[in-house]
Amino acid sequence: MDAATEKIVLARIRDGDEASFEVLVRAHSAKIISLAWRLVGNREDAEDIAQEAFIRLHRNLASFRGDSSVSTWLYRTVTRLTIDYQRRQKLKQKIFFFRRSNAEHDPYELAADPAASPGDQYLAGEAGRRLAAAMGKLSARQRAVFTLRHHEELPLKEIAAVLQLEEGTVKAHLHRAVHILRKELKDLQGGLT
């Protein structure tokens, strides 16, 4: 959705047109769920986080000044919600010995090339599992920066705006994330840039 259309939709929402909010949700939901999925690792929690982000957007539309685009606002909100989610998960693991199921599918596994041979599919799935495990070793902020940069392909300046960090801090988090991932995945071909 371009900026001019977004302003029109926002004006209609503020005038009480709930159908316009549905237009806004449809325009952004796929990218927001995808981002949350990459950050938390499972679809159900990603959908819950995306839903919470849209609820917060709806509640805050009256005070939304438009200093950033709706997508930037949603990226920022989803990133914060996932960081909070990951902190709660770590707390659950420490206090309640909560463990997630190892049988749960990983989004990287699901992205294997269906035309590949069974051996190639196995290797792609194994690489995806290894990448997911390595991503789990990153801090919540490092994972968010890496995901926004390499999966969402956002420029560093926009990542800084989304996370409300200095661009140098974003670069430092990205550098640390890449260093950790390279170390964890050094035996795989291709490397990370």
- Report yes or no on 4 lying in a domain: yes
Has residue 66 got a pLDDT over 60?
Answer: yes
Same domain, 21 and 100: yes
- Report yes or no on 120 lying in a domain: no
Please name which of 106, 180, 171 lies closest in space to residue 138, comparing C-alpha atoms. Answer: 180
Same domain, 11 and 78: yes
More confident residue, 99 or 161: 161
Has residue 62 got a pLDDT over 60?
Answer: yes
The domain of 164 spans: 136-188
> What DSSP state is assigned to residue 61?
G
Q: Distance between the two ends of the chain, CA-based, in angstroms?
A: 30
| Rounded-to-10 torsion of CA 48, 54, 57, 58 | -120
Least confident of 11-25, 31-45, 54-68, 179-193: 179-193
Please name which of 83, 81, 75 lies closest in space to residue 35, comparing C-alpha atoms. Answer: 75
Same domain, 74 and 161: no
The highest-confidence range among 43-57, 101-115, 123-137, by mean pLDDT, is 43-57
pLDDT value of residue 123? 62
The highest-confidence range among 17-21, 51-55, 85-89, 122-126, by mean pLDDT, is 51-55
Same domain, 76 and 149: no
- Report yes or no on 54 lying in a domain: yes
Has residue 192 got a pLDDT over 50?
Answer: no
More confident residue, 50 or 107: 50
Same domain, 97 and 7: yes
- Mean per-residue pLDDT for 20-28? 92
pLDDT value of residue 104? 45
Same domain, 86 and 28: yes
Number of domains in the chain: 2
Taking only the tens place, the pLDDT of each residue in 77-120 is 999 999 888 877 776 555 444 344 544 444 444 444 455 566 66
